[in-house]
Structure 1
Amino acid sequence: MSTLKTAFEMASHSFDDIVKTPKPDLLIYDLNQPWAAAVASSHNIPAVHQSGKEFPFPEIYLHEHEGNKLREALHSSVNDVKEEDRFHEAMERSCNIVLIKTFRTIEDKYINYLSVLVEKKIVPVGPLVQDAVNDEHEEIIKWLDKKDEASAIFVSFGSEYFLSKEEIEEVAHGLELSKVNFIWVVRFPVGEKIKIEEALPERFLERVGERGRILEGWSPQAKILRHPSTGGFPLNARMVEEVGVGIEVVRDKNGRLHREEIAKVIGKVVVENGGEIVRRKASELREKIRIKGEEETVGVVEELVQLCRKV
């Protein structure tokens, strides 16, 4: 911890020298540089925190309005304790507003709720999605090209959640039982040298054959999600179900996933009529987001300009 603190102090001193010269009108910082706000403040420069990833709004909204409940909810969304501390520090040091990667179209009530709790204006900045330039997995797109429209499912649990051995087993068997095409991104913690074949059920890859593809670590997510052959994806389940563009795989009372439930939900989204409803709602929501996207971008600019004028 002392080594980490020393590194932050060194970075802070170096940054102070950098800021002195151009004297910017505004500083935007993320989770990794909470100390940057203090440096900016010493030079009378407004500093704004921008969350670089999706915010756990539903989890926060389900808690009561006390501050300690908010802290508990925020803590539960981050795996690493040190990262928790930096998250809260970065948010608390932000000048009046906080920029967060989301849409008001989807999460308006959560944005308003959080604004009251943290006593700062929460400003959505949209998805900030960039097209991937890495062609390392171009064969995956070619594989999708051969599949029927909306016939494949994309499975990814994000970059910060690692499935246990039991969860990998259940997801694998669920995908096998569903009998639909799938792309599954499997990630292991840094430093753990595990072969995918060893983590999966015996002969799983042989049984699913051409119906499934498994990627380790990185995937061209944006390309996969917008491909016409992709018919579903388990991502931020509670939120997408609430807005009607997905169905959540419900865990049991002990928080465990079960293969039968996974297969059932996949069937509803990709095979049954429920899938057509979900895709129609997703298409409608996409159009709303497209229309509102430019408005939100203009709103962010206006907020930052006003902040600079107040100094």
Structure 2
Amino acid sequence: MASSCNIHAIMFCVTSTSNLAYFYHQFLYGSSSLPSFPFSSIYLHDYEIKKLDIQPIKPRDEKAFGYIILKSFEQSHNIVLLNTCREIEGKYIDYVSTVGKKELIPIGPLICEVTIGEEEDWGTIQSWLDKKDQLSCVYVSFGSESFLSKQEIEEIAKGLELSKVNFIWTIKFPKGVNTTIEEMVPQGFLESTKGKGMVIEGWAPQSLILNHSSIGGFVTHCGWNSILESMSFGIPIIAMPINHDQPLTSRLVEELGIGVEILRGENGKIMKEEVAKG
């Protein structure tokens, strides 16, 4: 719309640049054997490729996952802004700039600070964390747009129980789903983990939790904002990607040496033993 009015528009890429590099390469070269993607550390498992449906892209396949990203990049006027920095993704910035023939300008990481006074639930959470040893707890959250099935929630719960670590876990349900945490977790889980775990339904002040001295790890879906927050606060990442750009971001986490990915079973099934291992 901006272009149709002869107004210059600039794309602000809110995912990782490694993701942008991967998908842009796919759209440029499709199934062609040459050139191959130059960063072997960023890859997708077979079940992720099937789930994301990133088969060779037709020139005008507007339903493809990354089509909007590609078109936005192409229509961005001369430059593209990135929520990252060269220390994290320098080689990916250079690659996309070269193949895309645009100047890429990193302006991040952009972290939204939360004022304590605005969070009415923070007092209860802080009191619980204050009683725990330094770096003894993991924070478990899968963002505001990713929802887990009952089976997945049960496996994560069993994994947390097996690991014997302290944890804060925020569980969210899709709008219109009428259920409770008690119905979704294994029977007896809340009682057996009482004292070691705090389970919260809905939203929680993530940046305040991650910045607390008792937090020593973050089990995350690998949304880019969550990754940037975790890195900014120096919290190791236990990666459990679900969809969209998250699987590739998980590979970046391991490449940077700032976390580990929880391995999945056949067809991407979550397994309690791997959750505990992570």
- Name the residue aligned to 1:246: 259
Q: Cα–Cα, structure 1 residues 186 and 132, in superposed 2: closer, same or farther, change >3 Å?
A: same
User: Which one of 50, 60, 76 corresponds to residue 12 of structure 2?
Assistant: 50
| Cα distance, 1:188 vs structure 2 | 2.2
Radius of gyration: which is bigger?
A: 1
| Cα distance, 1:113 vs structure 2 | 2.5
Q: How far, CA to CA, are the matches of 1:77 and 1:194 in structure 2?
A: 31
Q: Unaligned 5+ residue runs, structure 2?
A: 31-36, 38-47, 55-62, 223-238, 240-250
Q: Cα–Cα, structure 1 residues 196 and 220, in superposed 2: closer, same or farther, change >3 Å?
A: same
Q: Which of 1 and 2 has higher RCO (CA within 8 Å, sep 6+)?
A: 2
Pairs within 5 Å for 1:205-220: 205-220=190-205
Residue 106 (structure 1) aligned with residue 91 (structure 2) = no
| Cα distance, 1:62 vs structure 2 | 8.9
User: Which one of 137, 145, 157 corresponds to residue 121 of structure 2?
Assistant: 137
Q: How far, CA to CA, are the matches of 2:146 and 2:17 in structure 1?
A: 14
User: Which one of 43, 56, 67 corresponds to residue 28 of structure 2?
Assistant: 67
| Cα distance, 1:66 vs structure 2 | 5.5
Q: Partner of 1:154: helix, strand, or coil?
A: strand
Of 170-179 and 119-128, more deviation after overlay is shown by: 119-128
Q: How far, CA to CA, are the matches of 2:96 and 2:139 in structure 1?
A: 31
Pairs within 5 Å for 1:64-103: 67=28, 69=30, 76=52, 86-103=68-85
Residues 52, 65 of structure 2: 8 Å contact kept = no
Q: Partner of 1:215: helix, strand, or coil?
A: strand
| Cα distance, 1:63 vs structure 2 | 9.0
Q: Partner of 2:213: helix, strand, or coil?
A: coil
Q: Partner of 1:233: helix, strand, or coil?
A: strand
| Cα distance, 1:121 vs structure 2 | 2.6
- Name the residue aligned to 2:207: 222
Q: Partner of 1:234: helix, strand, or coil?
A: strand
**What whole-Å deviation, never above 9, does each CA across 1:44-68 have from its counterpart, x for those lacking one?**
x4321113x3337258549966525
TM-score, structure 1 as length reference: 0.62
- Name the residue aligned to 2:45: none
Q: Unaligned 5+ residue runs, structure 1?
A: 1-34, 266-311
Q: Cα–Cα, structure 1 residues 91 and 58, in superposed 2: closer, same or farther, change >3 Å?
A: closer
Q: How far, CA to CA, are the matches of 1:159 and 1:82 in structure 2?
A: 23
**What whole-Å deviation, never above 9, does each CA across 1:185-208 have from its counterpart, x for those lacking one?**
222223323222211111211111
**What whole-Å deviation, never above 9, does each CA across 1:203-223 have from its counterpart, x for those lacking one?**
211111121112233221111
Q: Between Structure 1 and Structure 2, which shows a larger proportion of helix residues?
A: 1
Q: Partner of 1:47: helix, strand, or coil?
A: coil
- Name the residue aligned to 1:264: 277
Cα RMSD for the two superposed structures:
3.1
Q: Partner of 1:158: helix, strand, or coil?
A: coil
| Cα distance, 1:180 vs structure 2 | 0.7
- The percentage of counterpart residues that share the same residue type is 44
TM-score, structure 2 as length reference: 0.69
